[in-house]
């Protein structure tokens, strides 16, 4: 570290950012432990806006090539403005910001435990979209109680170029999802490139048709479902995330959105177990309770493993110190 400079506020000096990397059921999380930008002492919403509007180069530095990849989710730890929370966290990837991140929340809790920053097995995370409760079930396994989730629209038909009519549900699980069982190809690992292209075509078609989440929010996650490979699972999902990467985990916010749809259709009762399998075969175990306002409150259980820890180094004379973003799909 050179003086008091950080990647967020110092572009004319060298800097270092302390990180811990983990993966949750295959999907990576990079927790920013120290060296992030000074976002002031306002509310989390205000600090999120400062990060987005004034220090977006920090996001790009931490998650983009050459230090990261489009599959990596970053998690910036900050002081909570809710005194009941252990920490606040802002999630992002190489293309932008995430309201919540289920696998990332599991990774954050596992990282805090690894660093000796938890006093017990319970943890509360403040995110820009609400508070997430977490319980460490073991050294690797964490259950998160996500933000309240709901289905906004059922059986939304969208015309997709070269694919025809695709029908799915629009639901909120901490991010906005379009969920469909109507995949033109089987949800199999051998079809990864086709699934990716299909999901991008659906996302573009939703945008062109002005199909959105609440208040015009863009639907930036596309989830396709098929039969599971494992007899212990209920379904398999392919989730395309903002930026163009597919989720290696079963996707915590996507599973939450799926539970909201199942609950709305009367296909899953409160407390009933649902096992979501990812495209690589990893699993989340999920269930829900009914909240005070009638929305469902999902619980997601998964395993996270520490992959590494160290520092990201930035050098002022590096012309790509804040990352490479060529070819980013939006």
307 in active site: no
**Are 66 and 110 within 8 A, CB to CB?**
no
Question: What Rg, from alpha-carbon coordinates, does the chain have?
Answer: 19
In whole angstroms, what is the distance from residue 295 CA to residue 151 CA? 9
Q: What are phi and psi of 193, to 5 degrees?
A: -65, -40
User: How far apart, in Å, are the Cα atoms of 114 and each of 5, 56, 107?
Assistant: 26, 28, 10
Beta bridge partners of 76: 32, 90
- Please say if 101 is a catalytic residue: yes
Categorise residue 325: left if φ over 0, alpha if ψ from -120 to 50, beta otherwise. alpha
Structure tokens belonging to residue 6: 């950080």
- 89, 101 Cβ separation under 8 angstroms: no
**Tokens at 152, concatenated:** 């906004």
Whether the Cβ atoms of residue 6 and residue 17 lie closer than 8 Å to each other: yes
Task: Could you list the beta-strand ranges (E) of 79-183.
Answer: 87-92, 97-98, 122-127, 130-136, 141-145, 150-160, 164-172, 176-180
Report d(CA 314, CA 72) in Å as an integer. 18
Where would I find the H helices in 212-314? 252-264
Name the catalytic one among 123, 241, 251, 261.
Answer: 251
Q: How far, CA to CA in Å, does 219 sit from each of 170, 232, 257?
A: 8, 30, 12
Contact 299/286 with Cβ under 8 angstroms? Answer: yes
Per this entry, what is the length of the chain?
330
Task: Give the H or E element holding residue 289.
Answer: strand 283-290
Catalytic residue among 101, 123, 241, 261: 101
Catalytic machinery residues? 101, 251
């Amino acid at each position: 570290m050179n003086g008091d400079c950080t990647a967020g506020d110092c572009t004319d000096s060298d800097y270092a950012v302390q990180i811990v990397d983990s993966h949750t059921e295959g999907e990576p999380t990079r927790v920013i432990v120290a060296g992030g930008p000074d976002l002031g002492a306002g509310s989390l919403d205000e600090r999120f806006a400062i990060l987005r509007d004034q220090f977006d180069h920090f996001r790009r530095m931490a998650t983009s090539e050459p230090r990261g990849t489009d599959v990596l989710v970053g998690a910036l730890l900050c002081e909570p403005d809710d005194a009941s929370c252990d920490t606040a966290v802002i999630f992002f990837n190489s293309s932008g910001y995430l309201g919540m991140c289920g696998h990332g929340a599991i990774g954050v809790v596992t990282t805090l435990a690894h660093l000796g920053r938890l006093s017990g097995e319970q943890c509360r995370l403040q995110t820009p979209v609400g508070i997430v409760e977490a319980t460490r079930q073991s050294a690797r396994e964490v259950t998160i109680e996500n933000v309240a989730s709901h289905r906004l629209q059922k059986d939304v038909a969208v015309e997709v170029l070269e694919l025809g009519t695709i029908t799915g549900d629009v639901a909120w699980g901490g991010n906005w999802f379009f969920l469909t069982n109507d995949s033109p190809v089987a949800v199999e690992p051998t079809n990864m490139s086709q699934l990716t292209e299909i999901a991008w075509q659906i996302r573009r078609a939703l945008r062109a048709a002005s199909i959105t989440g609440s208040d015009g929010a863009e639907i930036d996650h596309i989830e396709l479902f098929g039969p599971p490979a494992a007899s212990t699972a209920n379904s398999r999902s392919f989730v395309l995330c903002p930026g163009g990467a597919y989720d290696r985990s079963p996707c915590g916010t996507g599973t939450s959105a799926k539970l909201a749809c199942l609950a709305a259709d009367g296909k899953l009762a409160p407390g009933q177990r649902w096992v979501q399998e990812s495209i690589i075969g990893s699993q989340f175990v999920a269930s829900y309770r009914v909240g005070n306002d009638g929305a469902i409150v999902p619980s997601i259980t998964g395993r996270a493993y520490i992959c590494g820890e160290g520092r990201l180094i930035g050098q002022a004379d590096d012309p790509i110190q804040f990352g490479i973003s060529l070819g980013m799909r939006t």
